[in-house]
Amino acid sequence: MLHRIRATARPSPVSMALALIVNKRKMDKYTELRRKWEQKKARRLQLRQRPDSDLNEGELASDADRINNIKKRFEHLSEVLALLYKIYRENKSLYGDKFLAFVGNEVVREWPWKDFPFISKAAYNEIRSTGSHTKITGLLATDISDQKIKTALKNLRYEHWTPISFFRDVFDLDECLTQEDFYNILIHYYR
């Protein structure tokens, strides 16, 4: 019979030894953070809910505001990519190919709220065929209430214009990339 290990299990000898290395004052701070977290309980995240910056009094913000938000998110992503690039270039063999897979699959693909949805020609043609005149560029499927369009969108397959592998492989294509380089790569090629 399998037994579940409780979260309150004793720390391992390794974690105890590492804890001794950290000075007592810092440990008190970390212990206090853990205590606060335990009292508060883990948050239930609302992953499908748009961030407040994309809304204006509960309604979608203007296209221009949402585009500026996406550009700001690209700026933040480029900052993270530049740091990951620096780490990777310092010692490529430390993590191996798992590091590049992480960059593409977890960082670039999963970076939140950076997509400009429904801008492809295939999407446009599929939506036009419904006869609906509802403007949906820049909207997510959850933002659309027109049933004709929702039905038409089920016929679409979502693919990136530039494969995600490009954004990971670029780490090996140049020896000196900056945050500005990553920002421009994202602006020009991420779709």
> Is residue 108 located within the same domain as residue 175?
yes
Q: 137-160, pLDDT tens digit by residue?
A: 667 777 788 888 888 877 776 666
> Is residue 110 located within the same domain as residue 171?
yes
Q: Give yes or no for residue 165 having a pLDDT over 60.
A: yes
- pLDDT-based confidence at 182, cuts 50/70/90? very high
pTM for the predicted model, two decimal places: 0.73
Q: Does residue 27 form part of some domain? A: no
Higher pLDDT: 132 or 185? It is 185
Q: Give yes or no for residue 42 having a pLDDT over 60.
A: yes
Write a three-state SS string for the chain. Answer: CCCCCCCCCCCCHHHHHHHHHCCHHHHHHHHHHHHHHHHHCCCCCCCCCCCHHHEECCEECCHHHHHHHHHHHHHHHHHHHHHHHHHHHHCHHHCCHHHHHHHHHHHHCCCCCCCCCCCCHHHHHHHHCCCCCCCCCCCCHHHCCCHHHHHHHCCCCCCCCCCHHHHHHHHHCCCCCCHHHHHHHHHHHCC
Domain ranges, residue 79: 63-114+161-191
Q: Give yes or no for residue 17 having a pLDDT over 90.
A: no
> Is residue 75 located within the same domain as residue 152?
no
Q: Does residue 74 form part of some domain? A: yes
